């Protein structure tokens, strides 16, 4: 251990070669899950893995597995991420985790290293959820979403996922490795600005953040903007503006809190009419469930009180709930030790976005490694992580694999 070094140039070359499949319009990628481009990426992944002598398989939801045997009959260590992208996605989101896993396999092969446990590299199907809900591959793998139900779901164009998978050359297979699994490890770009702003290279992720989402509806009374005195108004726009600031202030006041109103609309709004209807989305996040509960209660309570004071009707529809997921202490410790051993500046941090690791961590030991995102930008073709940072992440992944696979 410690003598195996990632080949950063080889990793970068693989990343750039994969980026040629499903190019975007601005230097990034458009490689939607279930698309011909996704199929091509899956094919390239398969051929690369076969060239390394890995045992290929795929399950009925199309999750691809490439296994390197261990010296003992033990549950495997899983590593990986996803190759699908957003329609205007980047070259690193997900892809880095899969191809860094491939680079780990190449290093192990080149170094002639035998691990006790099998190591299985996975490419999860439909992580991005651009055409239907996200992170379905790991959801099916852990059983949180029954396979038949997943294959029967239809996307935004009415296409059945099972049919789309079966139409791919590199889609569904008879089955992959099942449980038990020893642990799961995922390298991913941060998709936020924290590491870059701190001048750090490695984030040791301790938990997946919890989130709650609502659609808020404000109902006032439409009235002519001229003849209606201020004190006679029931202005849904003013109520919604208060809501945005209540969420923003409450999240700022709570360390680690996030509060976002990302979408707003005033159906039938007019520039000369006091607004009667405003719709607003609210997303609240925290890594601690009790704090998330308290934040949610505070924000919704303050909005309701403000609406009452304004005489504006208020209704909230809960559209999503995902509790925080703590990652595994042993996996965290292995990653942290690898970071320190390599001398990479970094920190423990929380994942603010959802990842397949969050699904996995609900049923088995799991952890994540973050590397910096330039300007914190992701889900954007301008997404970028330097070759050095990609290599650093892969090195920490390799060392963690050596620790956890024995």
Separation of first and last alpha carbons in the chain: 10
Using DSSP, state whether 93 is helix, strand or coil. coil
For the bound state, the minimum distance from the C-beta of residue 262 to its own copies, rounded and expressed in Å, comes to 5
Of 57, 109, 281, 386, which lies in the binding site for its own copies, with binding defined by CB under 8 A? 281
Of 274, 303, 396, 401, which lies in the binding site for its own copies, with binding defined by CB under 8 A? 274
283 near its own copies, rule: CB under 8 A:
yes
Contacts of 13 (CB under 8 A, 6+ apart): none
Tell me the two tokens of residue 57. 């398989």
Of 14, 258, 336, 390, which lies in the binding site for its own copies, with binding defined by CB under 8 A? 258
For the bound state, the minimum distance from the C-beta of residue 44 to its own copies, rounded and expressed in Å, comes to 27
Of 257, 324, 365, 367, which lies in the binding site for its own copies, with binding defined by CB under 8 A? 257
**DSSP alpha helix (H) spans, 277-328:** 289-310
176 near its own copies, rule: CB under 8 A:
no
Identify the residue whose tokens are 């950063």.
Answer: 8
Identify the residue whose tokens are 């088995």.
Answer: 364
Cα gap 192→358, rounded to integer Å: 17
368 near its own copies, rule: CB under 8 A:
no
Tell me the two tokens of residue 388. 């050095």
Cα gap 197→187, rounded to integer Å: 20
193 near its own copies, rule: CB under 8 A:
yes
User: Which 194-223 positions form the footprint of its own copies (CB under 8 A)?
Assistant: 194, 197, 209, 211, 213, 222-223
Tell me the two tokens of residue 284. 């609240």
Cα gap 237→216, rounded to integer Å: 12
In sequence order, the β-bridge partners of residue 347 are 203
For the bound state, the minimum distance from the C-beta of residue 56 to its own copies, rounded and expressed in Å, comes to 33
For the bound state, the minimum distance from the C-beta of residue 295 to its own copies, rounded and expressed in Å, comes to 12
Q: Which residues form the interface with its own copies (CB under 8 A)?
A: 190-194, 197, 209, 211, 213, 222-232, 235, 237-238, 240-245, 248, 251-252, 257-266, 269-275, 278, 281, 283, 285, 319, 351-354, 376-380
Binding residue positions: 82, 93, 128, 188, 379
């Amino acid at each position: 251990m410690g003598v195996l070094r990632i080949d950063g140039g080889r990793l970068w070359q693989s990343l750039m070669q994969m980026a040629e499949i499903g190019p975007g319009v601005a230097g990034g990628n458009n490689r939607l899950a279930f698309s011909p481009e996704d199929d091509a990426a899956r094919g390239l992944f398969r051929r690369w893995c076969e060239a390394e002598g890995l045992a290929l398989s795929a399950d009925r939801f199309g999750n691809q597995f490439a296994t390197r045997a261990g010296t003992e009959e033990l549950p495997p260590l899983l590593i990986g991420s996803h190759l699908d992208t957003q329609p205007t996605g980047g070259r690193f989101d997900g892809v880095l985790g899969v191809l860094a896993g491939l680079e780990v396999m190449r290093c192990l092969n080149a170094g002639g290293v035998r691990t006790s446990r099998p190591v299985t590299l996975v490419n999860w199907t439909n992580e991005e959820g651009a055409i239907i809900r996200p992170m379905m591959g790991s959801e099916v793998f852990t059983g949180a979403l029954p396979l038949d139900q997943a294959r029967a779901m239809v996307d935004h164009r009415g296409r059945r996922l099972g049919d789309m998978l079966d139409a791919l050359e590199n889609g569904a297979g008879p089955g992959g490795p099942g449980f038990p699994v020893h642990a799961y490890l995922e390298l991913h770009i941060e998709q936020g600005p924290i590491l870059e702003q701190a001048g750090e290279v490695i984030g040791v992720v301790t938990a997946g953040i919890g989130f709650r989402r609502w659609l808020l509806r404000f109902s006032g009374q439409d009235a002519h903007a001229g003849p209606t005195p201020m004190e006679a108004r029931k202005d849904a726009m003013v109520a919604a503006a208060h809501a945005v600031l209540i969420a923003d202030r409450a999240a700022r006041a709570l360390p680690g809190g996030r509060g976002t109103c990302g979408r707003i609309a005033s159906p039938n709004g007019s520039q000369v009419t006091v607004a009667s209807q405003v719709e607003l989305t609210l997303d609240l996040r925290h890594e601690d469930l009790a704090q998330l509960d308290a934040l949610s209660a505070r924000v919704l309570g303050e909005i309701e009180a403000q609406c009452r004071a304004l005489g504006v009707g208020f209704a909230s529809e809960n559209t999503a709930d995902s509790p925080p997921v703590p990652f595994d202490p042993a996996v965290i410790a292995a990653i942290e030790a690898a970071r320190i051993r390599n001398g990479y500046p970094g920190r423990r941090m929380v994942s603010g976005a959802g990842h397949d690791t969050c699904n996995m961590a609900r049923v088995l030991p799991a952890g994540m490694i973050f590397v910096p995102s330039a300007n914190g930008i992701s889900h954007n073709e301008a997404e970028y992580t330097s070759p050095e940072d990609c290599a650093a992440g892969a090195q920490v992944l390799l060392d963690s694999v050596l620790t956890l696979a024995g």
